[in-house]
Amino acid sequence: MNPKMACQGLQKGETLATLKKECESLKKKLEEDRGKLNDVELHQVAEKVEVVGALSIKTRRVLKGHTNKVLCMDWCKDKRRLVSSSQDGKVIVWDGFTLNKEHGMSMPTTWVMACAYAPSGCAVACGGLDNKCSVIPLSLDSNENCAAKKKTVAMHTNYISGCTFTNSDMQLLSCSGDGTSALWDVESGQLLQSFHGHTSDILSLDLAPSETGNTFVTGGCDKKANVWDMRSGQNIQSFECHESDINCVKYYPSGDAFASASDDATCRFFDLRADREVAVFQKDSIVFGASTVDFSLSGRLLFAGYNDYTINVWDVLKGTRISMMFGHENRVSRVRLSPDGTALCSASWDNTLRIWA
């Protein structure tokens, strides 16, 4: 490079020495500012809040029917129906009140790792080892074979780990072992937006509550939780605090924060405006990975399912464990609060689902 060219763009009086000095002072200022953002922890702010009273949450229903591990479930907006998917290749729609199996559909591959109920309640989406996410309209006629009407919407180059409809039946968000997530038009199957940034499998996604706009969060094997803008495809925030795979991410009900569950046996809580981790839910006695989390309606309770077959209930504000929910006889793969917050459903590798209230 010719010396004259290198000097272009240099301002008057600038030398290596002055730039170095400017560098040092900027670094110092940055450190100071970052320190200010970290002034206090969530549980310190919440010191004066009353402790949570004894919870009276018990198993109220046990849903039996799958013949292998239940990997995923989702509630219908009507607060009583739910859909579950399993390693047995089946997707079942249940009436949670009566335990009636309303629909049972067989998928072409085993390990249906993701399923979701459409907002209208008229369809479900599912996907897994087939690398595709399909939408199945639910027929009112129980004799009709629903699986025949299955429509492929999402196509990835590795397994589907999570899927969700956006605010309508018209769009579907998927995440995959191929490290990408994508937004699809259900009717045409067209790819509307793809999201790149993870450097390994994505294991979970969650859409921000509708009031807070068009963003979603993903977590995966690269130990990162990323927040995305659905319209631009941009990764707007990234958090790397876990020490192992992130198995699940879930927004706090206000949309201003989210929680994560990881193989490092901790669950963590991240505030989006402070742009940092504000709580870690861990105990020396908890050594098994956490696979799933969900909040109670007010966000005060965090239900977390673990590979030691239990569900721990954490006080989100105080960072302490309130109680444990026992019952499953194998890993808990998914926990989901019902739409009105009156019940929690858990899915497990023991082939059953439980509804707790």
Partner 1 sequence: MTSNSNLSNMRRLVEQLKLEASVERIKVTERLVSQAAAELQQYCLQNAAKDALLVGVPTGSNPFREPRSCAVV
- Taking the alpha carbons of 223, 291, 115, 207 in that order, is the dihedral positive or negative? negative
Residue 242 is given by DSSP the state: -
Q: Tell me: does residue 357 bind partner 1 (CB under 8 A).
A: yes
CB closer to partner 1, 189 vs 299:
299
Q: Does 118 bind partner 1 (CB under 8 A)?
A: no
Q: Does 37 bind partner 1 (CB under 8 A)?
A: yes
- Residue 92 makes contact with partner 1 by CB under 8 A: no
Q: For residue 236, state whether it binds partner 1 (rule: CB under 8 A).
A: no
Q: Indicate the residue among 9 and 13 with the shorter CB distance to partner 1.
A: 9
Residue 8 or 285 having the CB closest to partner 1: 8
Task: Look at residues 191, 178, 275 and name the one whose alpha carbon lies nearest to residue 220.
Answer: 178
Q: How far is the CB of 248 from partner 1 (least distance, A)?
A: 19
In b/e form, how buried is each residue of 203-212, taking b as 16+ CB within 10 angstroms? bbbbbbeeee
CB of 223 to partner 1, least distance (A): 22
**Cα–Cα distance between 236 and 11 in angstroms, integer?**
33
Q: Verify binding: residue 340, partner 1, rule CB under 8 A.
A: yes
- Are 79 and 340 in contact by the 8 Å Cβ rule? The answer is yes
Smallest CA-to-CA distance from 317 within 38, 55, 57, 49 is with 49
Measured CA to CA, the distance from residue 181 to residue 193 in angstroms comes to 9
Site for partner 1, residues 45 to 74, rule: CB under 8 A: 45-46, 49, 52-53, 55-57, 60-61
E strand segments, 11-137: 59-64, 70-75, 81-86, 90-95, 101-106, 114-117, 123-127, 132-137
The residues that touch partner 1, with contacts defined as CB under 8 A, are 1, 3, 6-7, 9-10, 14-16, 19-20, 22-23, 26-27, 29-30, 33-34, 36-42, 45-46, 49, 52-53, 55-57, 60-61, 80, 96-98, 252-254, 256-257, 271, 273-276, 278, 296-301, 316-317, 337, 340-344, 355, 357
